[in-house]
Amino acid sequence: MCANNAGVDRATESSRWDLVMTRTFDAPRDLVFKAWTDPKQVQQWWGPHGFTNPRCEVDARRGGAMRIDMRGPNGVVYPMQAVFEEVRQPERLVFVTRALDDKGNSMFEVRNTVTFVEHGGKTELTLEAQVIRATAVAPEYLKGMEAGWSQSLERLAAHVRSPRQRADN
């Protein structure tokens, strides 16, 4: 009950200019928190569908760095760096992410605050993102990435829908 009300309040308070997302995961909080701070585990899920993470370093402590190279289904590598500003196990993570262009320049910086709340063995995760700076190429960059994962989703959908058709090709 309380959790639902809090979710509604947050949704009302936030506008389309903010990013506040809440998702409940069917796993205890310790497990979910570990999945965010253990590099071997982050490597398994980080990034959109169809992406892999050939490089995944996560030093989850205050001032520690996170370096993830996301490789899209089309082979394009999207490097990302972050610095942890706060690590409060197992309830809160604050990190500033920077997406880099091919010259290593930062295209955008976003402060992400992730909170983990446990309710009866499940974990309610809330992500709040505050954009610190963004260059004009940042929207294009995200659009490009999205094109990559949309394609992989379409392939997946086609795969699920018609395995016979796929065999014919």
Q: Does 127 interact with other proteins (rule: CB under 8 A)?
A: yes
Amino acid occupying residue 48: P
Spatial contact of 139 and 131, defined as CB atoms under 8 Å apart: no
Q: Tell me how far apart the alpha carbons of residues 70 and 98 are, in angstroms, rounded to a whole number.
A: 13
Q: How many residues does the chain have?
A: 169
Q: Which is nearer to other proteins, 86 or 146 (CB)?
A: 146
Q: CA 103, CA 109: separation in Å to the nearest integer?
A: 16
Per CB under 8 A, the segment of 2-10, 87-95, 138-146, 157-165 that binds other proteins is: 138-146
Considering only residues 29 to 58 of the shown chain, the ones binding other proteins according to CB under 8 A are 31-32, 35, 38, 40-41, 44-49
Closer to other proteins by Cβ: residue 33 or 84: 33
Please classify residue 68 by burial: count the beta carbons closer than 10 Å to its beta carbon, then call 0-12 exposed, 13-18 middle and 19+ buried: buried
* Min CB(141)–other proteins separation in Å: 9
Distances (CA, A) of 17 to 20, 66, 94, 128, 139: 10, 26, 20, 12, 14
Q: Which stretch binds other proteins (CB under 8 A): 1-9, 59-67, 142-150, 158-166?
A: 142-150
> Looking at beta carbons only, is 62 or 143 nearer to other proteins?
143
**Which residues contact other proteins by CB under 8 A?**
15-19, 21, 23, 25-27, 31-32, 35, 38, 40-41, 44-49, 110, 125, 127, 129-136, 138-139, 142-143, 145-146, 149
